[in-house]
Amino acid sequence: MSGLTHVDADGRPTMVDVGDKPTTRRTAVAEARVQFPPEVAAQLRESGLRSAKGPIVDTAIIAGTMAVKRTHDLIPFCHPLPVERCRISAQFGESDVLVIRCEVAVVHKTGVEMEALTGASVAALTVYDMCKALSHAIRIDGIRLIEKTGGKRDFEEASWR
């Protein structure tokens, strides 16, 4: 188990001590994809991405932003962070796929990957919730970190392929 940061010398779970780490600017971008059946995607495009529950993308952005700010309440060993920027976008990519991106930035001693992943995930879940009356065949997938900067090393998705 060497290399895992949330495990102590005895193999027990622990929060990482960031006390001696340098404060740096840290960013992360995560993505989630919501795939709709073709007829549902067409219906959503025609409605301007509105459902009976209201504006889908606007509601997803609010939910995702709230999730970013509460990540430390959801993921046991995440530190509470003073989020300085949170931007969430959602737009149709492939014909039936709504691509949700969440970008988060802080100046702190630990990264924001989990915040970006949580924001993208909750935004996607919100889209599902708002559209499930149209179909339960909606699929959420492709939740992944696209890039991160700051800390020990930067990361871009293509770098591991």
What domains appear along the chain, each with residue ranges and CATH number?
A: 24-151 (3.30.70.640)
- Whole-number pLDDT of residue 2: 54
Q: What gap in Å lies between CA 69 and CA 122, rounded to an integer?
A: 12
User: Can you tell me the mean pLDDT for 144-150?
Assistant: 96
Main-chain dihedrals φ then ψ at residue 100, nearest 5 degrees: -110, 130
Condensed to tens digits (0 to 9), the pLDDT of residues 48-85 reads 999 888 999 999 999 999 999 999 999 999 999 999 99
Kindly indicate the confidence band of residue 12, based on its pLDDT and cuts at 50, 70 and 90.
confident
Is a pLDDT exceeding 70 seen at residue 160? no
Condensed to tens digits (0 to 9), the pLDDT of residues 75-90 reads 999 999 999 999 999 9
Kindly indicate the confidence band of residue 151, based on its pLDDT and cuts at 50, 70 and 90.
confident
10-14, 85-89, 141-145, 148-152: segment of lowest average pLDDT: 10-14
Instruction: Find the catalytic residue in 8, 20, 96, 129.
Output: 129
pTM of the model: 0.90
- Determine whether 10 is an active site residue: no
